[in-house]
Amino acid sequence: MLLNTSRTICRLSSGRRFVAQYIPNDFKPPFIPLTSESGFAGAVGNTPLLKLNKLSQETGRNIYAKAEFMNPGGSIKDRAALFIVEDAERKGLIAPGGTIVEGTAGNTGIGLAHIARAKGYKCVIYMPNTQAPSKMDLLRLLGAEVNPVPVVPFTDPMNFNHQAKRHAESLDNAVWTNQFDNLANRQAHIESTGPEIWAQLDGQVDGFTCSTGTGGTFAGVTRYLKDISAGKTQCVLADPPGSVVHSYIQSNGEALDRSGGSFTEGIGQGRITNNLAQDIGLIDYSIKIPDAESIKMVYRLLDEEGLYVGGTGALNVVAAVEVAKNLPEGSNVVTLLADSAHKYAERIFSKKWLIEKGLYEHIPKELQKYAILA
């Protein structure tokens, strides 16, 4: 950028001279300055929207991905964590020095742990013991008490969510944040993620897709985009193997097929959550994404776009490509990169682990060079 500036010779008290350049009063910086006077909380959201150039060229559509790994806690779940805690504060459910308790597969817990530290709360997390050890380590580093528990269905009283609820009820000045059914989760995306996407593309959003865990992100963004576009934006739910949501949508609510399993973490669901139920009627259709396609996209995004993302983000991009194929040439399709690969690297970049899971063979041979971990 060339600036029309004036130059003036100035003299310091030491006698040394320097040249001062004055920037014109009408100068506008080539960025939007962001200063958070409220610390961590004020830095949540306002993430970049990245065009995925290689995939856009291949499809003849513009595929964009929102870089949610650039939230201060490293994932899209910072948004829900902030809204849920501030909603509890407004309702008087927690007072200074209290305890935040949640059942989470990881990222919401990490967001809550950050918020708890910033606001002076204690944090207790219950999570499935199948989650990446690095997630548990990070939670402990943030001062949270972590309770890994065996994976059982939601109908079982020992499900990690039910254990979290009982723990909160046993304490004074504690709140179970209940991310799966607490509508403050969905509201976070009605008020932040959805409006950001719409503004970043000047209202030209033809399609939106992402996977669901709690359902808050998909439901909130879908609600906002459907409302502001008068129903024109196509909203498609993406589901991994082992989740019931795709079968529920395809069967008009008659089936809950949970067959299969996935290497992805924190997405897929064994029931229809309260967050998702609010807007399930707005869904245009759903698609199931095989693990083979998701792991391949992890490696493609790293190689072609320089993006180091986890399985959820990769699955979302696969879905965006599928949605793009059903829209006119030149359409804009948006998805989300939920977090980076840092918490999953010991698995998804381990040749041994990939072979054990039957995934290595699905990575193109020219990209297998990135599976460098033992």
Q: Which residues contact 68 (CB under 8 A, 6 or more apart)?
A: 47, 75, 76, 336, 337, 338, 339
C-alpha 309/C-alpha 274 separation (Å) is: 28
> How is residue 222 written in tokens?
């879908």
Q: List, for residues 248-271, the tens digit of each pLDDT value.
A: 999 999 999 988 999 999 899 999
Q: Name every residue whose Cβ is closer than 8 Å to that of residue 12 and which is 6 or more positions away in sequence.
A: 18
Quote the DSSP letter at residue 304: I
Measured distance CA(297)–CA(300) in Å, rounded: 5
Angle at 236 between CA 49 and CA 130, to 5 degrees: 80
Question: Would you say 270 and 153 are in contact if contact means Cβ atoms under 8 Å apart?
Answer: yes
What pLDDT shows up at residue 106?
82
Pairing of β 62-67 and β 49-51: antiparallel
- For 133-187, write each residue's pLDDT tens digit: 888 999 999 999 999 999 998 899 999 999 999 999 999 999 999 999 999 999 9
- Split at pLDDT 50, 70, 90, the class of 29 is low
- 165 catalytic per annotation: no
Tokens standing for 148?
């890994």
**176: which residues sit within 8 A by CB, 6+ positions away?**
101, 102, 164, 165, 167, 168, 169
Q: How confident is the model at residue 1 (pLDDT cuts 50, 70, 90)?
A: very low
- The mean pLDDT value for 300-326 works out to 98
Look up residue 68 and give its two tokens: 């949610």
Q: Which of 144, 164, 162 is nearest to 101 (CA)?
A: 164
Other beta carbons within 10 Å of 335:
28
User: Lowest-confidence range among 26-40, 106-120, 350-364?
Assistant: 26-40
> From the centroid of its chain, how far is CA 82?
13
Other residues' Cβ atoms within 10 Å of the Cβ of residue 31: 6
- Mean pLDDT (whole number) for 50-56: 98
pLDDT at position 116 over 90: yes
Q: Is the pLDDT of residue 2 over 90?
A: no
Residue 5, Cβ density class (10 Å: 0-12 exposed, 13-18 middle, ≥19 buried):
exposed
Residue 11 has pLDDT above 80, yes or no: no
Domains of the chain: 45-72+193-370 (3.40.50.1100), 77-176 (3.40.50.1100)
In Å, the largest CA–CA distance within the chain is 84
Q: How far apart are CA 242 and CA 246, in angstroms?
A: 10
Give the whole-number percent of the chain exceeding pLDDT 70: 91
Catalytic residue among 66, 77, 119, 135: 77
Mean pLDDT (whole number) for 62-66: 98
Question: Percent of the chain at pLDDT above 90?
Answer: 86
Contact at 8 Å (CB) between 277 and 257?
no
Q: Is the confidence at residue 10, as pLDDT, over 90? A: no
Directed axis angle between helix 77-90 and helix 107-119, to 10°?
A: 50
What's the pLDDT at 5?
Answer: 46
